[in-house]
Structure 1
Amino acid sequence: MDIGIEKIGFYTPKQYIDIVELAQARNQDPDKFTIGIGQDKQAVPAVYEDAVTMAAEASNQILDSDNKSDIGLVIVGTESSVDESKAAALYLTELLNLPENVRAFEIKEACYGATAGLQMAKNFVAAHPDKKALVVASDIARYGINTPGEVTQGAGSVAMLISSEPKVLKLTDQTVYMSRNVGDFWRPTFSKTAFARGKFSNQIYIEFFETLWARYQKEFGATADDFKAMLYHIPYTKMGAKAMRTLDGKISAEKYAQLQTEYQASIKFGREVGNLYTGSLYLGLISYLLNSDVKPDDNLLLFSYGSGAVGELYSAEVVDGFKDNINVQAIKSVIDDREKISISDYEKIFSDSIEDGQSVDPETVTGKFYLKEIKENERLYSAK
């Protein structure tokens, strides 16, 4: 039985900052950010946006009255949880009018959470072929104003409908994974911003890729020539390039050059949005599918990494007619129809928040779903 992605959707906030302007405001050489880090723009979430609202926006792009009734599992992968107890997936079931006879929960493991959800959804559909699973990656990457990690912030969500009728990407059974307790990145419960050992995190990321690629080749008798492209977790677009460099000299020069070309297609949207944490790999997938010459039956290799750390390397096959099952115009509009704001406005938004007893004027909301108010410390959401 084939299992994979039937539909995929994407959302990012309506406002962004220009990375060159951010560099100038921080007295940095813009090339350090645009070339050294590989970013052009950075999404800025509004005060009424969070992991829940963005997940709802991305999911709403791929759901309709027909497929909603078939959903039996809802998983949100996030490290931007809005509650220490209640899962973001539960808010989704109400906002999206999903049936009650579903399992709904949240997965946390840094940027790996959505991949864990995807693999769990695959197993669920294998056991329940008549059911579908909604897997959503939704995050706001925050490091703080004028911090070393500020240039690698961002926000957005990717929603995937997993079923026994994959119309975008068919998942194979070829996967390898590993886990290790590593202190490269963490966010204590008391902090709204993350802590990271940047160089060490890059080192572990590359080490995980090298280890998993060697293991994948040995276990499945694979070579780089088996894949049209290798897609990476890309919290900033130069990070995947660092992992790819480990292939230089180990595969043919022609294949290496071809993989680099494919990689450029996969990072186009990431350069425009910034860090999605759990969604970064899957935004790369969307970018690749819409900006490359990929064809049906092409094989892709996907590298997922979550600091702390868990890594997984798995393969998938592009399905015939995949572009007909992606709302290309909606996704491109999400990216193109945004407003650039000044660095000073971004700094004000960054430090703003909705506190207990406060509510949001619906007239100020640009999307469909929003945090309406916080009442007695309970977050209440609404749809326009």
Structure 2
Amino acid sequence: MTTVGIDAMEIWTGKLKLDLPNTFAPEKGEDPEKYTKGLGLNASSFPDSYEDIVTMGANAAKKLMDRKGLEPDDIGRIDVATESSFDNSKPISTYIAGCLEQVYEGDFHHANKGERKFACIAGTQSIDDAYNWIRAGRNRGRAALVIATDTALYARGDAGEATQGAGAVAMLIDEDPDLVELSMEQGYGSADETDFLKPNQQFPSVDGKRSVKVYLARMREALEDFESVAGKIHPDDFAYGPFHTPFPGMVRKAALLAYRHIIRDTEVEEELAEEIGRQPRQEAFDDDEAFTEALREYMDALKGTEQYQDWYGRTIEPTLGISRDVGNWYTGSVHIARLSALMHAAEQGEDLAGQRLLVGSYGSGAQAEIHAETVCDNWLEEVEALDVQEQIDARYDLSWAEYEEVHDRHNHEKDKELEEFTAPENEFAFDGWGRMGERKYRYVE
């Protein structure tokens, strides 16, 4: 059977940078380690005055198409995942297609276009849609372009302000992929939750503590559901575990929960029993409170074991490298976690072909998805073709006053004009407003 998966990826990070320990923390009167060690973040990316979700998505897509030698006729569908859309009717994919048609001879008139919304998990759902479209044979030999693009802004003074970010990930979904092959098995955890929402508003309403609990609960459900179709998994089954990363500190919690689950009833649990005891089983307790307390104590002990620390350092920590420097990209976050892992493997000279990734996606509201991916033979060539670190290093470092101006510039309720900090070159840029109030774009040579 022909394989289907992610053939190639490209990213486009917002061109501005907010340094959290050196700019944000002093202004807030906070210890820099609250951000670097607590949240696990060094910096956030922001869009310049001429950037938005369309320009970032279109620029990432153009980089991908140019590198892979693609023309519009090669693309049969364009799906955009975002929770930062500014249009409640017209999908962002049409704006991006319009941008791309400025620079290619052909057009996307025969490509199916849409927009996916389920908070941060929508990027993975869009990949699922493309996978199913190809598997159904409806693609007519064409590939799908999936773009996850977001500007993750919070209200000034909000607890989530330090986790902001902006960027886009473009992914080509095709037969016989070069990067990763997608598996047939998926696991889901979903429930009607109000942990994070935007009811006709730009900035989110967030219940931070509840959001963490919901994230962990849905991830656990998805992992259990995945095992129901893929079979019991073991810590050594996967080279890396890219998780949705709103900030690395949340992944630390999810990773510990996942590790406890997958070592249960394995030789790893037995080996650890002499040091920290076996995992508490609910049937051994008379009430939930006693069980919860015993489980909390076990988790605290498990976190300090050499076995867990080694697994976390090998499997999870390498997925966090990009996120530490760009912040939360909402729909793109799990996809830059995957990319971070692959970049780490390339730097370490690992032979990753044929090894598997366990990918954990999440969207508030709430839903989690767990699925496996197999790294393809040409993965290294794909990863070495990227300029991720160069983009991160080239960002303009904002002062606090400049950050305030940029935040106001991208606040939909404020009509803030702002001179750009960087000069657009060989990229798409916002070009003002049209007669119906639409956003217009042009390609800047």
1:334 to 391, 403, 413: 391
1:41 to 24, 30, 43: 43
Instruction: Summarize deviations over 1:273-293 as a string: whole Å, max 9, x none.
Output: 000000000011111100123
1:115 to 121, 124, 127: 124
1:277 to 330, 338, 357: 330
Calculate the aligned-residue CA RMSD, in Å. 2.2
Q: Would you say 1:31 and 2:33 are equivalent positions? A: yes
Q: Is the 8 A contact 2:255 2:316 kept in 1?
A: no
Q: Tell me, what secondary structure is at the counterpart of 1:86?
A: coil
- Aligned partner of 1:258 in structure 2 is 311
| Letter of the structure 2 residue corresponding to residue 370 of structure 1 | A
Instruction: Summarize deviations over 1:36-64 as a string: whole Å, max 9, x none.
Output: 11100111211221111110111111103
Question: CA 1:329–1:304 in structure 2 vs 1: closer, same or farther (change >3 Å)?
Answer: closer
Aligned length: 383
Q: Is the 8 A contact 2:189 2:220 kept in 1?
A: no
Please state how far the C-alpha of 1:179 moved relative to its aligned partner.
Answer: 2.3
Q: Is the 8 A contact 1:158 1:283 kept in 2?
A: yes
2:164 to 146, 153, 171: 153
- Aligned partner of 1:80 in structure 2 is 84
Q: Is the 8 A contact 2:409 2:416 kept in 1?
A: no
Q: Tell me, what secondary structure is at the counterpart of 2:64?
A: coil
| Letter of the structure 2 residue corresponding to residue 205 of structure 1 | Y
- Aligned partner of 2:100 in structure 1 is 96
CA distance in 2, matches of 1:379, 1:314: 37
- Aligned partner of 2:433 in structure 1 is 374
Please state how far the C-alpha of 1:72 moved relative to its aligned partner.
Answer: 0.3
CA distance in 1, matches of 2:217, 2:351: 28
Please state how far the C-alpha of 1:187 moved relative to its aligned partner.
Answer: 0.9
CA distance in 1, matches of 2:128, 2:96: 20
| Letter of the structure 1 residue corresponding to residue 323 of structure 2 | G
Matches within 5 A, 1:185-196: 185-189=196-200, 191-196=201-206
1:164 to 143, 150, 175: 175
Q: Tell me, what secondary structure is at the counterpart of 2:188?
A: strand
Q: Is the 8 A contact 1:229 1:259 kept in 2?
A: no
Q: Is the 8 A contact 1:134 1:160 kept in 2?
A: yes
Structure 1 stretches of 4+ moved >4 Å = 353-364
Please state how far the C-alpha of 1:246 moved relative to its aligned partner.
Answer: 1.1
Q: Is the 8 A contact 2:190 2:218 kept in 1?
A: no
Question: CA 1:338–1:364 in structure 2 vs 1: closer, same or farther (change >3 Å)?
Answer: closer
CA distance in 2, matches of 1:71, 1:83: 24
Q: Tell me, what secondary structure is at the counterpart of 2:432?
A: strand
Please state how far the C-alpha of 1:219 moved relative to its aligned partner.
Answer: 2.5
State which drifts further: 23-32 or 320-329. 320-329
Please state how far the C-alpha of 1:255 moved relative to its aligned partner.
Answer: 6.6
Q: Is the 8 A contact 1:110 1:308 kept in 2?
A: yes
- Aligned partner of 1:10 in structure 2 is 11
| Letter of the structure 1 residue corresponding to residue 373 of structure 2 | A
- Aligned partner of 2:367 in structure 1 is 310
Structure 2 unmatched runs, 5+: 102-106, 269-305
Q: Tell me, what secondary structure is at the counterpart of 2:39?
A: coil
Q: Is the 8 A contact 1:26 1:146 kept in 2?
A: no
Please state how far the C-alpha of 1:345 moved relative to its aligned partner.
Answer: 0.5
State which drifts further: 258-267 or 32-41. 258-267
CA distance in 1, matches of 2:417, 2:30: 38
Question: CA 1:357–1:302 in structure 2 vs 1: closer, same or farther (change >3 Å)?
Answer: closer
Question: CA 1:249–1:359 in structure 2 vs 1: closer, same or farther (change >3 Å)?
Answer: closer
Please state how far the C-alpha of 1:106 moved relative to its aligned partner.
Answer: 0.6
CA distance in 1, matches of 2:45, 2:421: 21
Please state how far the C-alpha of 1:360 moved relative to its aligned partner.
Answer: 8.5
Please state how far the C-alpha of 1:211 moved relative to its aligned partner.
Answer: 1.5
Higher gyration radius (CA)? 2
- Aligned partner of 2:379 in structure 1 is 322
State which drifts further: 210-219 or 252-261. 252-261
- Aligned partner of 1:288 in structure 2 is 341
Q: Would you say 1:245 and 2:245 are equivalent positions? A: no
Instruction: Summarize deviations over 1:228-284 as a string: whole Å, max 9, x none.
Output: 121100011111111011144552364762243331111001001000000000011
Q: Is the 8 A contact 2:405 2:418 kept in 1?
A: no
Question: CA 1:211–1:116 in structure 2 vs 1: closer, same or farther (change >3 Å)?
Answer: same
Q: Is the 8 A contact 2:44 2:165 kept in 1?
A: yes
CA distance in 2, matches of 1:147, 1:314: 33
Q: Is the 8 A contact 1:359 1:374 kept in 2?
A: no
Instruction: Summarize deviations over 1:295-328 as a string: whole Å, max 9, x none.
Output: 1011111010000012110110000121212354
Q: Would you say 1:139 and 2:150 are equivalent positions? A: yes
- Aligned partner of 2:290 in structure 1 is none
| Letter of the structure 2 residue corresponding to residue 18 of structure 1 | D
Question: CA 1:12–1:58 in structure 2 vs 1: closer, same or farther (change >3 Å)?
Answer: same
| Letter of the structure 2 residue corresponding to residue 147 of structure 1 | D
The alignment's TM-score, normalised by the length of structure 2, stands at 0.81
Question: CA 1:26–1:362 in structure 2 vs 1: closer, same or farther (change >3 Å)?
Answer: closer
State which drifts further: 324-333 or 278-287. 324-333
